[in-house]
Amino acid sequence: MSRSLNTPEILTELFLNSDKSTIYSALTVSKQWNDILSKEYFWKQYYKQNFPNNNSLNKLIKQIPNHTYKNVCKYKMANKKQLVSNFYNKKSFPICNLNNIHNLDETEPACVKQDSMVWFDKENLSLKYLEFSKPEEIREFPVGSNIIMVDIIDNLIVCINVDYRITLFSRIKEHNQWHINLVNEPEHENGELFIINSCILDNLITLSFFELLHQEEPDEENENNENPEHQGEFKIFVWDLNLLIKAINSTNVTEDKFYDVKIGNTHITITYNPVIVHNCVYQERNEETGKLENMYYILSSTSDDGVITVYKYDEELNLKEIRSFLYDLEDDFILWASIHSDGTILAIGRKAIEIFSINDKKIEQHRKYASDIFESFHLYDV
């Protein structure tokens, strides 16, 4: 009898008539239940059965053709009153119809924020930028080459080019002609950089590289010469944009003075492959002045040896402390790790998730959770 009640058909019918708390609890019961509740077909049925006459949702679905019924239902189940939850003011930020935009290729780098978006136009080798309050006004920023990624930090548009040059543009319309390049250069004359990963967050840009050191070509006349092995170094580059952002937002600093603003940077030479990098800003009280000062955490980690390293910097990017932590792998590997302003470190593995504090000294203090319930979810949904 129990087996017959556990068929997908019966379970689906039960879930279709369940409330949100029951559904969310059911996600963690078993893999079979989780699989049913992760299917887009189920959520389409749930939508039609539970929200058949919701005019606002029906309107939203028509305007966003790439929606998922799962997200729409979760949105409704969360009792959201606005059509788009991250818009503070619907009058200032209406839902935009982007169907008339050309050269918007979903395979190319793009970034969407709550009030604007920017994307790479490969045909013209430029960035296109629009604000949702004025979707008919599209600004263009020439970059002259292909790019790896693009992001928006405060009033800056940040793009990383294929030669690892960082180009900054201002979102403020009056600064339309201004831009600046930040160059990541090899430390050695015979070095060549290859990017590994990046993090753009809290007005910081953190990039991890492998610097390949090219060896001299062997002498063909000397038969004893063997092909030299490739050698290199792993490095992390950090750029601090805080002062530049303050200058751009200031009404007292003119555009020509932006080039004089100090952009702090530092690099860290390490002995391991920094597959994962993350950064955040936090505040610490100065014991002498009693004032709160900005400090930076820079996190890096390999994916397979379970070691997470955190570098602590002051506002001038002077290194203050290095701490290393061991992640309990158990035949696992790290998919992602991040550090947050309260000192919490999150490590997501294929099999387990660990949460711990930067002040924890023993691995026994780590909180550990099985991550198999997230098999049907994209990593960044976690």
Q: Which tens digit of pLDDT belongs to each residue from 38-83?
A: 787 788 888 778 777 666 666 666 655 556 777 667 666 655 443 3
Report the amino acid identity of residue 315.
Answer: E
| Residue 143 CA: distances (Å) to CA of 140, 260, 279 | 10, 22, 26
Averaged pLDDT for residues 204-208: 95
Averaged pLDDT for residues 210-236: 72
What are the residues whose beta carbons fall under 8 Å from the beta carbon of 44, sequence distance 6 or more? 69
Q: Which tens digit of pLDDT belongs to each residue from 273-284?
A: 999 999 999 999
Contact 374, 354 (CB under 8 A): no
Least confident of 54-68, 181-195, 279-293: 54-68
Q: Does residue 90 surpass a pLDDT of 60? A: no
What span, in angstroms and rounded, lies between the C-alpha atoms of 206 and 311? 12
Domain boundaries, the chain: 2-77, 184-381
Contact 328, 276 (CB under 8 A): no
What span, in angstroms and rounded, lies between the C-alpha atoms of 159 and 357? 32
What span, in angstroms and rounded, lies between the C-alpha atoms of 229 and 198? 27
What span, in angstroms and rounded, lies between the C-alpha atoms of 18 and 6? 16
Least confident of 44-53, 220-229, 247-256: 220-229
pTM of the prediction? Answer: 0.70
Strands of the 276-285 sheet, one edge to the other: 276-285, 292-301, 307-313, 319-326
- How much of the chain exceeds pLDDT 90, in percent? 38
User: So what's the pLDDT on residue 303?
Assistant: 81
Question: What DSSP line would sit under 113-151, residue for residue?
Answer: -SSEEEEEETTTTEEEEEETTEEEEEEEEE-SS-EEEEE
